[in-house]
Structure 1
């Protein structure tokens, strides 16, 4: 009987097998004969139900076809290598189609039946747009065969085969599902970005693959340092897929230029330099321009300047907290009016902006960097690496031969580092250490990171947790530490919540912590900044920004109780507030 129960597990839904195997083991250990029949019947019913779910998923699997993309030309080779290996590294240039086509290939291979195909993206914007694209290609509605889960939005159903999510969401799920049993395949996309979440996931997955032989891992990356990922997973095979790219001419137009051959230099301001570069490109041929800037403020300033100078051109911003309507103007362009898209590095690899023929690269980006000496995390503007610069210029060779203008000189480019420092080498590690301690993953210095962080950063992380009361003198997790580990926010903010609960101020502090943990819920659309500021002014408190946020929350709560959800959405739009945030 026991043997038959174990054999029946092969026909069960993969996500249920671990739980059912544990139930069979408990049945084997049951010594009271009178309890055994009821236990056996319960297990048999659970197996029957799970088998039916798997059979239904097999029957409902969507029909798959592939658009004419470079990755589709390697279809047979990719399927064979993924079938033969537990871990595969796939690197592809921009435009290869790896992001949208690999989940479908996994589905064709029979993955997604015993558990969902997890597909992570570094950014929420990308997770949502990629899921929409794959759903469209599978002729299904979003949330049916393909869904996405990001902060505040969950468009995944029990029937979904492919689940797009941010890497932070997958990381949070480890807390409740240690072995990630709900997935039979995990695709880590854009791994070359080497965020803290990505590096921790890569280390965790290396630990996990020896415990889950049924799990398939696919690491996708731009053509940046792929050998490192292969070595990390014990020489995993690498598949290189060329992108559908056209020649890109690189032009250097530095902000600092020599005047009349002497030592004097003309230092142009950035918006003026972008305008001159745009006029130079307009003289070449008709085509949309993608401009890379360091942040929202720079985007708004440049947009204001360009709109006064280029009245016949659409000036469109692109950054992470853009509203859905504004995103549609970029990803679904209407008409033939020329566009200039002003973007942060969200458009560097994660998103493909259609119709781009030209790129203007300012050569800078905002990078978060932690100093273990001063114990301060700063978001500072830094020069991008050569790899990032090449990614940016590659965005304009998609539809035809393109031109990329770099607003710095060639010598500057050659002197830049080859790759961007991974986030794990430039951030406070308290949250990672806390996560590892709660999952009992051992000493952080022994954990299989792709690149081990500096031991000083690890010690500094432990020191911060000790100050917060999260670990004791011997660095063991305390009761407070266990509470901190279950709160998916920065440990310092989590500690404020715990203390607020002890002092009867949880409601007020929770509002403030929520505001600190997300992007500003107050929206300032490019064309209506003054109107938005006027609407928001009534929430302002002269003595404290925190009280301003609390005033906003109080107002929102009052309106939520008085209005229907549809009315509340309309009110938020009218008052320039993000309904989702």
Structure 2
């Protein structure tokens, strides 16, 4: 590489991030061109990631076009198909096309579709397998109504975000995801699905109630916090209140239960408790709160800059996604240290992690 050659010639290492690629003349940049089977140009660009992103739909169409008849299906309600291979490979015009099959969610049914990457396969499979299970096990809603004493409060607290039935569906989806994980992950054949279905049928009621109770506590505290943020306030508190409102909207929103996941629910409760402690301390020392908020803002800006630089055609890794929650842990350490954090955290530690990605 150029870095290696310069180091060999001069003894000085010039890291990749120190290069200003925008200043390189166009004629020195590589042009990537995509052609069809006849050699005709489909698209070209000097930005490979942009090219991949713009041709994503075309790639999906091409994958479907070379698939054997019957692999991609739609409108299924039971496991009425053969074993699902985790990887599918087909030769076409001398080229080997590799794709990754997954069950996909069609709301009232499921289908089977081929995907370009294993990540896309995993995302689709999670949703599709969840839907297929829900189509084949009794709904836990009746049991939930019988066992959840504060079910009416769920609707009260969730009113600003949507219908209470959507919230209950969210809790059920979270429960199914947890049970798939507890069972051992995805299944790829009918025998495995039947065992998973029986496992979910046996445990779904209790897990859904457990989740709904946790969610009721989270929404109750979120409701109380929003009440505290209403009404007249001292001008010096305006920035802090604005920051808190933005934080709450990033934690509690339609679909937050399933997207957060079962294991994250206790953390959400603690994050909200930290906000409560912060509001208590705010009136005592606004300047201290402001200083802490500036530290959080610095990390948040660095994280947003990292996300903006990521290739559109590639998924966000678990390591990068976790930084979002590291920032929440940082808030706990700065505003409500007495609650404790999940792991050691500091703004310097998070910034170093961001800079090393």
Normalising by structure 1, we get a TM-score of 0.19
Q: Could you say which structure has the higher strand fraction?
A: 1
TM-score normalised to the size of structure 2?
A: 0.27
